[in-house]
Amino acid sequence: MSLLNKLFSGHADAPQSKPSQIHHTPCHERPVEDTGLTIAALLNLNACAAAKMSYDLNHPPCLDTEVLGRLRHHVNTIPPMPETWHRIQRALQQPDASAHDLGIIIADDPILTAKVLQTCNSAAYTTSTSASISNIPLAVTRLGLDETSHIIFHTLAPQLADASAEKKLQSHHIWMHSQAMSMLMRSLAEPCSKISHNEASLIGMLHDIGKLVILHIEKQSVLNELMASIIKGLPALEAEYQHLGYTHIDAGMMLALRWKLPNQIQHFIAHHHHASHLPLDDIPDNLQHPMMMLNLAHMILQHCLANHDDTISNHRGIWQQDQLSFIGRPDLFIKNELELPLESTSLLTQLEHQVKRIQLNFPDIYALSSE
């Protein structure tokens, strides 16, 4: 039996009804210049993007006893998530969740309060005429739920990478990815009745958390070898198993149990590569909608970060070259089940601008021209 089968059994919980009274401005309401690309065109461009993989997602190889023990030992040394984070997640699950409710919990943590207010009053969220905000609910409203959730998680989560400059930069790549994916998932979930906004955002934020465990555990020389294999075109899971003896799915699942993440998040971590390498029927029925949406969000992010004249990468991430796509053509599923417009040119334009705004928070790995 594989590690993942030993760690848990059963199926993810059914999607809950959408929260929330915590509002953010929908991407389609932000006026920006239309760049003309549609979801249908993106699917055409990425039809053959994903490399074929010999790593079997349906029957992953068992981990060597020594590797499993080493992984378990290191994960068990990671501090648990604080109770404040669990309180916030419970609040967000309530149908009538509000910025006021979230603000009350944030205000109980002085470090978290300071970080939220600092970000809210930073240049990224203010203009020369903006008034300074010292009220947490107003700060949450200005930031939006995605950015607030990212700040909460990044502030409260134990720091996994060591103090080396290279690992710090690599961790910033992962944080940027998680923040962008969280935003994309929430935006894509807006028209979809099958996935709650909060669940979509949480999936985007946490699906790759195992990569931080890899940074925490492995020596820089091993990480360099891993990146070299991915740059040469080896799929990430295959490269990880070859060089580490485990994958970021294994590490993510172990950390999810350590941090007592919701059961459905554990299942999403376990299945988040399925849509890129397996037919739709190989994804459990109750995971199909979030996993197909997650894979589409990956492809959109890949598009946003690639071949843009106004975006210059100052530093290459270990997993940056790992390209995800769909094994088949999911057009009808995206249109009918995810309820997304295949031919809308404004949707991807809006998402591109949102990704670019997130990149501004990571000047050490991206140099962006001013708009």
> Widest CA span of the chain, in angstroms?
61
Say if CB 296 and CB 39 are below 8 A apart: yes
- Hey, is 221 helix, strand or coil? helix
Distance CA 152, CA 148 (A): 6
Share of the chain above pLDDT 70, in %: 85
Structural domain includes residue 104: yes
pLDDT, tens digit, 9 for 90 and up, residues 150-177:
788 888 887 765 668 899 899 999 989 9
Sign of CA dihedral 313, 315, 321, 323: negative
Distance CA 223, CA 318 (A): 7
Distance CA 219, CA 64 (A): 19
Say if CB 308 and CB 368 are below 8 A apart: no
Distance CA 268, CA 369 (A): 36
Q: What is the dihedral of CA 220, 221, 226, 229, to 10 degrees?
A: 140
H/E stretch holding 151 reads: helix 145-156
My answer on whether 257 and 344 are in the same domain is yes
My answer on whether 263 and 327 are in the same domain is yes
Sign of CA dihedral 283, 71, 2, 9: negative
Residues of the chain with pLDDT under 50: 1-32, 309, 370-371
Per-residue pLDDT at 91: 84
pTM: 0.82
My answer on whether 128 and 203 are in the same domain is no
My answer on whether 105 and 41 are in the same domain is no
Among candidate residues 156, 177, 209, the one where a domain is terminated: 156
- Hey, is 367 helix, strand or coil? strand
Domain of residue 145, residue span: 82-156
pLDDT, tens digit, 9 for 90 and up, residues 313-329:
678 899 999 989 998 88
My answer on whether 332 and 227 are in the same domain is yes
> Which residue type, as a one-letter code, is found at position 328?
G
My answer on whether 269 and 351 are in the same domain is yes
Q: How many domains does the chain fold into? A: 2
Instruction: Label each residue of 277-318 as H, E or C.
Output: HCCHHHCCHHHHHHHHHHHHHHHHHHHHHCCCCCEEECCCCC
Query: What would the DSSP string read from start to end of 315-333?
Result: S--TTTT-----SS--HHI
Among candidate residues 112, 133, 156, the one where a domain is terminated: 156
Sign of CA dihedral 53, 60, 256, 162: negative
Per-residue pLDDT at 292: 97
What 8-state DSSP symbol labels residue 123? G
Per-residue pLDDT at 142: 83
Among candidate residues 156, 171, 202, the one where a domain is terminated: 156
My answer on whether 303 and 353 are in the same domain is yes
